[in-house]
Every structure is written in C-alpha cells, then in structure tokens.
Structure 1
Amino acid sequence: MVSSRARVLVMNAALGPLDYRVPHGMEVEPGSIVVAPLGPRQLVGIVWEPERMPSDAEVGDNRLRNLVNVMPAPPLAAPLRRLIEWTADYYLAPAAAVARMTLASTSALEGGRTITEYRATGTPPTRMTPQRAQALERIGDRQGLIRELAIAADVSDGVIRGLVKAGAIEAVEVDIDSPFPLPDPSRGVPTLSPDQHTAAQALIAAVEARDFEPWLLDGVTGSGKTEVYFEAIAAAIAAGRQSLVLLPEIALTEPFLKRFTQRFGCEPVAWHSGLRQSQRRRAWRQIAEGQALVTVGARSALFLPYANLGVIVVDEAHETSFKQEDGVHYHARDVAVMRGLFEKCPVVLASATPAIETRHQVEIGRYKELKLPGRYGSAEMPEITGLDLIAHPPERGRWIAPPLVNAIDETLARREQVLLFLNRRGYAPLTLCRTCGHRFQCPNCTAWMVEHRLTRRLACHHCGHIEPVPRACPECGNEDSLVACGPGVERIADEVAALWPDAKAAIVTSDTIWSPAKAAEFVHRMEAGDIDIVVGTQLVTKGYHFPNLTLVGVIDADLGLEGGDLRAAERTFHQIMQVSGRAGRGEKPGKVFLQTHAPGAAVMQALITGDADSFYAAETEARREAGAPPFGRYAAIVVSSEDKDAAHDIALRIARTAPRIEGMHVYGPAPAPLAMLRGRHRFRLLVHARRALDVQDVIRDWLGGLDWKPKVRVAVDVDPYSFV
C-alpha cells in the first residue's frame, strides 16, 4: 500500500476501524497484521481497505499516531477478509469479534522458532505430596507449558515448578514451526462401490474445476461417505491445494485421524480447543503459509487463514453443534458455504440425515446432490423396532424394558456389543427431598442441578457450577431424604451393572471423553472387545465404526421432543437415525429398539418404518405454512443483566420501539426459558419475518437508535437454533 495512512481493524469489539500513520520505511497492504497504539496500550490489528470499512471518526493526517510494527506473518487474503465482513454483517457481530477468530494464536504472529515445554521424566520426586501425585497421574505423557500442565492436572503452577526442581518433570526445547508430513494421495486408494465411484468422480471434477460449487453428499449411515470425500481431498492434495474438514465434536477427530492415516499415510493437521499453545502456533503458521495441506477441526477451524483452499467438507452437516451459541452466533455449515464462494472452491455437506434447510437448497437448485442409498459391502441397515413403554413397562425402579433386556441377553450370549443411548449426562436430572419437596436448583441459573454420582457432585450443565451432594436437605434438615428423579447415563450404567454383572460396561459422555486421547482409548477398547455394553449420550451417535456392535437401545426416544422447539422432531429424527446407524455396520445384522411412550407419533413412525421422505415432506410443509425457516426468517434478541428490573426495562423499550414493517412481527418480551443464566436475568424477543426481508438492516437501525447502561447486554442471534 503506497500510502502514509492505513485503516486498521483493531482487536477490540467495542471499537470500529481506526486510522493510523504508516511510518517511513514500513510497508503494509490490505490484510497485513500490525501492532497499533491505543491510548497507553498496543493492540494487534488488521489493515483493511478504507472503502470497504468506513470509519466513524475521520482524523486529519497531522493527528494520526504511528503504527508500531508489522507482524512477521502472512497478510490475510482478500477472500478471508470478505468472509469476515459477511459474517459480521449477517450475524450482526462486531467485525473485530469475527477477526479475532482468525488470529486465534497470538504466538503464531510473532517471530522465534523454538519454545520451552515440559514433560514428566518418569522419575518420582523424593517428596511425594497428594497434589504432586495428582499432577503426575493426570499429566501422564502430556507435554506443554507449565500453565497448560497445571490446568490439565488441576493444580497450581507452583506444584509443576516444584516437580521441575525435583527432577520429576523436565524442560524440552521444541521446534514449533517444523513442517507437517505431507499426505500421499496415491497411498491406500480404496475399492469403491459403483455409487461411491460416481459420487467421487463428480467431486474430483468439482475440485479440478477450481470454482465454487456446493454439494450435498447424502448417504445412509455406513454407506462410505468419508471414502468418497477423501477422493476429493486426494485431488486437492495432488494439485498442491489445501483441504478443510469440519467435524461437529472434538471427540470425533480420533476415529477420523485413524481413517485418514490409513488412506494418506499420515495424520492431517488438527485444530480444536484441546491443542497446546505450541501446537496451535505451528498449525496456524503452516496453514497460513500453505504448507499444511489438510486440516481437520471444530467449527473455529473455518476462520483460519488458508493460503490456497481447494475443497471444504462439513461432515455430519446436519449437526446443531455447528451453531455457535456464545460470542458470534454463526452457523459453521452456512459460513462454510460462504467461504467456498469467496475462495472459489467446492463445498461438500456430508450427512445421513440432511437438515431441512439443506434439502430445500437442493430442491431450488442452489446445491447439487449426490446420493449413496445403501451401506458399503455386505452390511445392511438395522431393523428398527418401537417399544411401547405403556404396553411393556420396565420393572419398578428400572428404565430398560423387558423386551430390550431379552435382546441384550441374546446379544451378549453371541459375544456381540450393545449400545444404550440416553442423551442425558449424570445420574439423574433432578434431585429433591422426599420429606419437604425441596428441589436443588443452580444458584446462577433457572436450571435444576444434575447429580453426578461418579464424582459425588451436583452440577449445572449451563454455567458449570458444582457443589457436593449434601447428607441433609438444606431446607428441612432431614438426613437421607434426598431422592434422584429420572435417569441419566450413570443411572442406566448402574442398572446395567445390576442386570449383567459380568459384562464390561463403559459410560461415554463429554464428562468421560473430553479429549482426542480419551476418544482413542475408548475406540481401542471397543475394537479389542474390552467393552460389552456402552452407555452413552449423543457423543456416540456419529462417526464411530464398530463391526461387532449389533444392538442399539434408545432408552427415552421421546426426550428430544420436549420443549416445543421448532426443530424438535427433526432433531430427534436425526439423532435416533444416527445412533441407529451404529448397529450392524459389519457383516453381522443389527437391531435397534426405541423405547417410547408415543409409538404413533409421526417421527417415531418414520423411524420404525424407515419412511424418511414422508416425514421430511410433512415437516417441510408444516414449516412452509408457519413461515418458519427455510421459508421465513427468525432472529432472537436476548436482553440480560444482573439487575432483573434493568433487563426488563430495556426489553420493554426494545419492544415498544419495534418498527412496523409489513411481513415482520415481533413477539415478546418474555422471560427466557432459562430466565437466569450465569447469574444474569434474561428476557427474549423473537423477530419473525418473511424470507425476502433484510432483517439484519432492520434490526441494526432499530437497536442502533437505542442506548442502555453497560450493565445491560443486548445480544442478537440471527437464525437461532437454541430457544432457551
């Protein structure tokens, strides 16, 4: 940029872009990552085109402050800058908040190639304390900075430093910017079925065309979708271009890494919250320089500065966890499509149960569709049976119905594996006193505390508050009067232990599988036959392939239908279809039992009969009649404050000043279903508009004319998925 002036988007969401002077001898261009002064501080910022990001405060040249320096990192390319602009505009978020996701590793922006990390030596210290023992046990073979090891071990930094002095932990100099191994596209080429081959050839042609093209890869569970999009990735690798694969859960990276290594001879570059600082730096720099050819990660990987994207894959594209619920409320599936548009590369949405919004895009011709209607090889889809809990109630105090008990007996007798699915963590969703009726509620949220017997704690799954389970009721003081109501996976595991004491069982939830290493351990145990019965939540509904798992029991198929959510039936259908797909993936046939109080419900009938088309048609028509997405638009406005009256007053002001526009309705305010979250009182308004209305501009002008005290927060969620 041949100019003495630069417009900079500084990493402060409360500020707009600011102008700075470019000192003599410093060269910057749009996308350059710079350090800029702001008051007494120095902030990282990104140089932007002035015409694309107007400044609220034009300042004369004589009043500009000098930029401090340019960071030794590649400038952000124009397609990524356009994505940041679009995401900020569509989701009504500050551009700096979106850009911060791109600069997700501050150390990656700095010079220097080595860092000192620490690891256990295997030599115990002379003086062993309980905290030191805990630290060494939890660290295991982990390596990282002192702070990272302290967090992993749940001890203070001082404990780790003491272990370093005692020789139990040693310093290691790490070359953090060394290149990653390059995947080999010609290694491990699979034998594809005719349907797979046709789909793969279409995607290869799309990659070679080097242009934007969105595809839906619609294949039943076990049909080999991964092998198909691997061929598109192979084509990108052969052309020296980068690939991005988004997965909805960190725990899914482990089985994916294994399959990727079998196909390409090395692991892809992983990006998720579990990485050490040095790993994040190395990955970021290699991605930005175009050296990392394949990246697999959670939704945040979407905003990394890829130098030369050739294809984007969104696996399990129907998953609601692709919607970010905090900060910038973006949906990674939709933003992935926009990144493909800006990068001019194909985008593959892979799913066994595509979302209605995605199906609609296919129907109107915006997305192309590839179908894989059958399972790969000799594997067949499992037989699904509905278990009417009214006709076949479980024994008193139990939750597994007699027909499912019999089926588990038969499966274990054949030395095959069982999965029992219940999407509810902990032992019980509610604990109350049988004497006075006191219910344990989170002090920060309007949510019940969930009992976790494995850790002997009551926990809030919304804010993370935990407390020990008391011996006596805090209300009436009676001891041994507390009773657990309803089942969680731990309670089902207790029932499994009572019914099948010789069976080896495992609980699989985000409480037990919190890292790729834990997921790898679980996969190894399943493949080795060291687990007979898995009791798990949605964490086990996707991505895993266990040929000896032949029986799936859904403990409460009605659970997802509670709450009156717009997508409740669709989400329940997706979830149960996904968990059903874990059965019979090898040569042995699979069976699925759905325990339900409403076997006649449309979603249950669709699951039992396998008539997905009729279910989707009915759901789609209901959405059309209601003007709900994809035929209409929603936006939620959530007002929160520690002061309930202040939040309510602002919510009322927002409602009273709502613009009167044809085709747009504003409902509320009303207390949110979670009326208090993390100590803040919450009120919601829901904007419902026709599809053609630019609701973002309306809301921007509407809220822009109001002001409120800093203690009140107003958040806008465009295309909301959560209605709590």
Structure 2
Amino acid sequence: MPATRARLLMMNAALGPLDYRVPDELAIEHGSVVIAPLGPRQVMGIVWEAEHLPTDPVPEAKLRPLLGVVDVPPIRPELRRLIEWTADYYVAPMASVARMVIASGGALRGPATMTEYRLSGGMPERMTAQRERAIAALEGEQATIRELAGLAGVSEGVLRGLVNQGVLEPVAVDVDRPFPQARHDHHLPDLSADQRAVADRLAGAVEGRGFAPFLLDGVTGSGKTETYFEAVGAALKAGRQVLVLLPEIALTEAFLSRFEERFGAAPVVWHSSLRSTQRRRAWRAIADGGAQVVVGARSALFLPYRSLGLIVVDEAHEISFKQDDGVRYNARDVAVMRAHFERIPVVLASATPALESLHMADTGTYEKLVLPSRFGGATLPDVRLVDLTEEKPGRGAWIAPPLVRELEARLERGEQSLLFLNRRGYAPLTLCRNCGFRFQCPNCSAWLVEHRLSRRLACHHCGHETQPPATCPECGEPDCLVACGPGVERIADEVAELLPDARVAVVTSDTINSPEKAAQFVAMAEGGAIDVIVGTQLVTKGFHFPELTLVGVIDADLGLEGGDLRAAERTYQQVAQVAGRAGRGEKPGEVLIQTRHPEAPVIAALAAGDRDAFYEAETENRRHAGAPPFGRWAAIIVSSEDEAEAREAANRIGATRPFLPDVEVLGPAPAPLALLRNRYRYRLLLNARRSAELQRVIRDWLGALTFPQGVRVGVDIDPYSFV
C-alpha cells in the first residue's frame, strides 16, 4: 500500500522535520527529493524514515500535500545514514549536511541544454576600457554571462552589450552529455615486488566487496598512486564507482595526467571552481552511475554515488581535509565512515600519516600496508641541519651561506632547487620606521601581509585588501614603511640577487590558483624552464620533478610557534613532505633545514630520518596530555559583531558548564584570533576522556541555553585550528 504521509528533512536547519500528505499521483520512496509548500513558498526536502527523524506528530487533517518529485535518483540509504552520523558526530544540523549532498541546484531543475557564450572573433563598434579588458580576459573561455563577468572582472551589462554587437556568440551546450569511459586495462604498469604485493591486497579487497580500511604508508616517491591505481582498476572492471579525494585543487592537473595515461580517459572532477554547467553534468553523472571515477576536494565525499566501490584519500594527513566553518568535519574520518556504511574498502595514503591514523593501524582497526623504498632505485635524500645561531645569513638576508653554496652548485650543474617557506606574500608585517605604526586588518585581529607582486596589503583571514600608501597613515611621513620578516616573495627576491641568471618561480595559492595555472607550472618545471622554485606548503606534495636535487627549508621553526596541539606533528609532516621532492629521479637529492633549535625533538628526528622515534615520543606526549588519539578535544566558538554581547554569551555558557569526571572545560577566553571578519570571538575548550559521551554533553549543555539573534555559537569536534 503506497504511503499516505511523508516525513521530510528540510534544507533549512531552522525548520526541523515536517510531515506532508502524499497525493495519490505521486510515487515517492525514502530518499526521494521532493518539492513541498511552506506558507506561500515552495521548498525542497528529502523523504526520510520517520524512525530516524523523530518529531511531534501532526494530525492527518492538517497535512498539506506535496507538490512534486524532483527528477533525480533517490538519496540511497547508505548516504542517508552518513548524513545522520556526520550531523551527530560533529554536532551539526542534519539539514546543513544534507545541503552538501544537494550541492548543485542546476542538477535538480532546468533543461538538459543551456546557453553559454564565447568570443566570436569580431570587435565592437566602439571600444571602451572595460570592453577591451573583457575581450582580453575571455580569450579561450566559454561560460554563462554571469560566470564570464566574474572571470573578466566586469559587469554583466558590459558583456550583454558585447552579445548585442556579436562580439560574444551564444553556444548551445548539452549539459548532460556522457563522460569518456576509462578502461581498467588501458596501460598496465610495471610495478615493483613491494608495489605488486600491496596492489594485489587492495584489488582483492575491492573484489571482496566489504568494509576494509587501509593505511597505505609509503615513503615519498614509493609509487603509492600507481599502487592504488590497481585497486581503481579492479573497481572499474567490476563496474563500480571510485572516489579519490585530493587535498589541493592545484594537485588536480598533475593527477589527471597520470590517471589518463593509466586508464585512457580523464576522471570526473569535482571542486569549487567548476562552472554551474560542469557541476550539473558531474552531479547527474555521479547520481546515475555514468561517472566512473571522481577526483575531488573534500566536498566530493557527500555526492550521491550510485554504486561506490572504493574510496581513496590521498595525502590523508593534510589539514585541508578539515573543514573550518559550516559543518566542521574531517573528510579523512568521514571517508572511513562512508566506506563503512557503503561496505567498501577505503585507502588512506600518506608518506607521513596522522598520528591518529597510525594509532588505528597499531590497534588493528586499520590494516597497514607499507612501501618502504622509492620506486625505480631512487634513494631518499641526505638531510643536513643548518644551525642559524652559528651559520647566520647576511644582514637583511634569510638564506644562510651553506644553502647559498648549494644553490650555486645546482645552478652550475643545470639542476633544480626548491626553497620552502610556509608564508605567503613578501612580508608578514609592515610598519612605519618613524612612529612604529603597524598595518592591521580592520576586520580581524591580524596584521596585513605585504604582497609586492600584486602591490597590495592583504589579510589572509578575511580577504581584506588595500594598496600600500605613499605615506604613513599615522604620522604622514613619506618613504618610511618597512617590511618585517620574510615571505616567499622576499625569498625569491633574495635568490634573484644572489643568482641573477637563475629563473625563479614563486608557487603559492596566490600564483597557482587554478588547475590550468598548476598545469602551466608543472610543464615549465618538467621542461627545465625553472631553476629555483620558491613555495609554500603547496609544493610539499604531489609534484615529481626528476631534475630537482636540492630542497632548502628556510625556517623549520615557523610551524612550532603558537602552542598548537599538533604543531610538532604538522612541522614534521610538512618538512618531510617537502624534503621528499628532492632526488626523485636518477640523481641523488640533498635537503638543508635551517633552524635555530637543532635540539628540538622534531628537528632532530628530521635530521636523523627517524620517523618512528618522533612518532613514539609524540605519542607519549599525547598520552600524558589526554590528547587525541587517547582523549578527545572539542571547541565551542562564540562570536558576535558586538564585543560585549559575545563576551556575555561566552560567560553564560561558561557559568552553566557541566561538572563531570571525564570532561574538563577550559575558558571562556578570547580566541587567539579575537576579531575575525568583523566578529568578536570567544572560545571554550573541552578535553574529554574517550569514555565520555562528548557530543551528548555538548548538545544537552548548549540546548538548554538561548542567545541573542546576533550571537553565533559553533562547535568544532576534533579541532585542527586553534586560532
């Protein structure tokens, strides 16, 4: 007998679940995406099992009828269970999680064809500065008017004028055309014995069709990608879909090339830079099973795959897998849970696994697979420390003499070098030498970072930008502004002074901010058009340059500042990863690490190449502190545009804190970044034993309180950022 009423998970978290009557002419099932009336409006919801989504019952006579069913496959039960688990674990509204599933509005409605525009080759009757800029910016581009306006930095009206004059021509796009099909046996690789053993284990798990979590622990250059590609091939052979999560959009192009070489067709890509038509096409292909392999950022984890057979989290240690706003989830951990609900294998691949992942492997929860050596006979680089208290750079310089000598030697031999400093821009602080005025963001309690390449002062937290003034805003003195400290741009300038013949590339999220620019950089590096790469954490992973034989770490101590729980682990991971870029070809590599604290355990471990000793010491430190993986952390972040309102709300939360033997509450106190995007912030930290029902404690505690409309209260379970 067909259902007469339906419980809906609404897409608005403020609404809660609602019941509706199902008209006789509508065929629905659990997971159906439907349109429902709400007052005078029409809203979207997902039909849910009533026992999984309790609410107060509504009499039949008061139920309003559903208006229609959206023409997309129902959300499968495995994904519905993941939505429930994610909302429960991260103390987030289910609606907020479900919105990540329905991530493309265009996929749910509208025609299968749409109109995009491209340059026709013609010129307008009257050229203006804006039209000239638009024509230059849109060469080779095709998109909707809105998207083209964003690319060109002009108004939509300017582009519509170009359409009227025939400079932009319309193109009918078949939005839902199928993707090229990959073949599991297109180009079979020649694997080493170690790789083959691991590949066979992973492929066997895919064929076994059961939940199987793996930690693929392989040194840099060991061929982890080629190894798990064999599991991808097994899934393709079985007609199952595959999800590969990458931490950075900039890594996508290099990965796509390797994938297409192995399987004969590019995978489907999912990230925030896709145009609306691309998102629609990808979403519908994922939902109907036409997308065989999806490569994407963390949000790809919540897409409605029809027949998922394998999940791979590449560079699984990366902190960019942790979402820091909205639903504050960790894609690494949610990937394991999705694999659990889907009953499929999941592979966490890394050369420097997170301590939590290693603990799960040590306790037998994950199966650990090891690739102990580099592929093809390449050896790991030699590591040397440069003690900056003894080998001091020159005045106003940041590169110590031993590293300068090695840079010169590599340039003479025609080999490439990489200098790593995890700080974008030219300098982290600009001040007036006359009165001491410091340039601070008006929206955040943070200094403005000078970017000389783009001639701007920028806040890396809220995006505020301003041009450097000719005079000090405080005292009016001209030519008095001083850059304090180094960023990558300043290091690049120093390299240009030391090695005037060297071709230098600055690689950060400012300069490599699209897959196309990443591909351009890779082509130049592989073609020998770059001698010295100066970059941030963006260059620590995924890139393979055979001629790169020297890595210099400008300031290995930078990541140890600030008292972060994971500071030592993060420093080890970043430096070990960037060190792994050296000597990946036939030529041996060398790594020089500049430090003022050579005795620090993490620095000593890097010098000795003794990862196990570092992890053992870090594990004991965490055990004594009750920190993850032996205890649990959570943060409660209170914010408001009114500082007094934020402080009062935080104090109310603190005053009603639970007193439990297995949960310690610290704070409230101003957050380290006390002003962010014009909102004042206070924070409470919870340290709980593993036995504590942490999420229930937080829900009961905060659920009993009400706050003014301007106050936001966020919960961060397993926080990675402590600012």
C-alpha contact 1:5 1:19 (8 A) present in aligned 2: yes
Aligned to 1:386: 385
By how many angstroms is 1:124 displaced?
Answer: 3.7
State the one-letter code of the partner of 1:141: G
Q: Alpha carbon RMSD of aligned pairs, Å?
A: 1.0
By how many angstroms is 1:170 displaced?
Answer: 1.4
State the one-letter code of the partner of 1:46: I
By how many angstroms is 1:111 displaced?
Answer: 4.9
Distance in 2 between the 1:407 and 1:125 partners? 55
Residues 504 and 191 from structure 1, CA distance in 2 versus in 1: closer, same or farther, beyond 3 angstroms?
same
Cα displacement string for residues 337-378 of structure 1 (whole angstroms, at most 9, x for unaligned residues)? 000000000000000000000000001110001000000002
By how many angstroms is 1:3 displaced?
Answer: 1.4
Aligned to 2:343: 344
2:334 equivalent to 1:328:
no
The more displaced of 472-481 and 155-164 is 155-164
Corresponding residue pairs, total = 723
Cα displacement string for residues 270-305 of structure 1 (whole angstroms, at most 9, x for unaligned residues)? 000111100000000000001111000000000000
Aligned to 1:233: 232
By how many angstroms is 1:437 displaced?
Answer: 0.6
Aligned to 2:44: 44
Alignment of structure 1 residues 389-408 onto 2, 5 Å: 389-408=388-407
C-alpha contact 1:4 1:21 (8 A) present in aligned 2: yes
State the one-letter code of the partner of 1:301: A
Q: SS at the partner of 1:594? A: strand
Distance in 2 between the 1:63 and 1:482 partners? 69
Aligned to 2:528: 529
C-alpha contact 2:662 2:691 (8 A) present in aligned 1: no
C-alpha contact 1:10 1:36 (8 A) present in aligned 2: no
Aligned to 2:267: 268
Distance in 2 between the 1:387 and 1:564 partners? 24
Distance in 2 between the 1:427 and 1:14 partners? 44
State the one-letter code of the partner of 1:32: S
State the one-letter code of the partner of 1:522: F
Q: SS at the partner of 1:273? A: coil
State the one-letter code of the partner of 1:453: R
Distance in 1 between the 2:8 and 2:118 partners? 40
Residues 384 and 133 from structure 1, CA distance in 2 versus in 1: closer, same or farther, beyond 3 angstroms?
farther
Q: Which runs of 5+ in 2 are unaligned?
A: none
Distance in 1 between the 2:469 and 2:443 partners? 19
Cα displacement string for residues 197-232 of structure 1 (whole angstroms, at most 9, x for unaligned residues)? 000000011000000010000000000000010000
Residues 219 and 114 from structure 1, CA distance in 2 versus in 1: closer, same or farther, beyond 3 angstroms?
same
C-alpha contact 1:35 1:67 (8 A) present in aligned 2: yes
Aligned to 2:281: 282
State the one-letter code of the partner of 1:234: G
Distance in 2 between the 1:276 and 1:700 partners? 38
State the one-letter code of the partner of 2:244: V
Aligned to 1:502: 501
State the one-letter code of the partner of 1:14: A
State the one-letter code of the partner of 2:547: N
Aligned to 2:624: 625
Aligned to 1:357: 356
Distance in 2 between the 1:358 and 1:665 partners? 25
C-alpha contact 2:455 2:467 (8 A) present in aligned 1: yes
Distance in 1 between the 2:241 and 2:48 partners? 25
State the one-letter code of the partner of 2:5: R
Distance in 2 between the 1:142 and 1:554 partners? 38
Distance in 2 between the 1:209 and 1:500 partners? 57
Aligned to 1:11: 11
By how many angstroms is 1:480 displaced?
Answer: 0.8
State the one-letter code of the partner of 1:28: I
Aligned to 1:99: 98
TM-score, normalised with respect to structure 2: 0.99
Distance in 1 between the 2:254 and 2:167 partners? 33
Q: SS at the partner of 1:101? A: helix
C-alpha contact 1:357 1:630 (8 A) present in aligned 2: yes
Distance in 1 between the 2:383 and 2:308 partners? 41
By how many angstroms is 1:626 displaced?
Answer: 0.6
Distance in 2 between the 1:639 and 1:260 partners? 44
Cα displacement string for residues 527-582 of structure 1 (whole angstroms, at most 9, x for unaligned residues)? 11111111111111100111111111111111111100000000000001111111
Aligned to 1:582: 581
2:430 equivalent to 1:422:
no
Distance in 1 between the 2:420 and 2:135 partners? 34
Distance in 2 between the 1:542 and 1:163 partners? 43
State the one-letter code of the partner of 1:29: E
C-alpha contact 1:73 1:110 (8 A) present in aligned 2: no
Distance in 2 between the 1:108 and 1:207 partners? 30
By how many angstroms is 1:123 displaced?
Answer: 3.5
C-alpha contact 2:385 2:598 (8 A) present in aligned 1: yes
Distance in 1 between the 2:409 and 2:680 partners? 52
Q: SS at the partner of 2:586? A: coil
The more displaced of 136-145 and 631-640 is 136-145
Distance in 1 between the 2:629 and 2:343 partners? 25
C-alpha contact 1:379 1:584 (8 A) present in aligned 2: yes
Alignment of structure 1 residues 390-469 onto 2, 5 Å: 390-469=389-468
Aligned to 2:62: 63
Aligned to 1:209: 208
By how many angstroms is 1:678 displaced?
Answer: 0.3
By how many angstroms is 1:585 displaced?
Answer: 0.7
Distance in 1 between the 2:115 and 2:665 partners? 55
By how many angstroms is 1:164 displaced?
Answer: 1.9
C-alpha contact 1:560 1:572 (8 A) present in aligned 2: yes
C-alpha contact 2:242 2:292 (8 A) present in aligned 1: yes
State the one-letter code of the partner of 1:228: T
Q: SS at the partner of 2:50? A: coil
State the one-letter code of the partner of 1:227: E
Aligned to 2:685: 686
By how many angstroms is 1:694 displaced?
Answer: 1.1
C-alpha contact 1:72 1:111 (8 A) present in aligned 2: no
State the one-letter code of the partner of 1:22: V
By how many angstroms is 1:27 displaced?
Answer: 1.0
By how many angstroms is 1:126 displaced?
Answer: 3.9
By how many angstroms is 1:468 displaced?
Answer: 0.9
2:198 equivalent to 1:199:
yes
2:660 equivalent to 1:664:
no
2:258 equivalent to 1:259:
yes
Distance in 2 between the 1:298 and 1:139 partners? 26
Distance in 2 between the 1:514 and 1:140 partners? 18
Q: SS at the partner of 2:617? A: helix
TM-score, normalised with respect to structure 1: 0.99
Distance in 2 between the 1:157 and 1:520 partners? 29
Q: SS at the partner of 1:51? A: helix
The more displaced of 298-307 and 643-652 is 643-652
C-alpha contact 2:246 2:298 (8 A) present in aligned 1: yes
By how many angstroms is 1:58 displaced?
Answer: 2.5
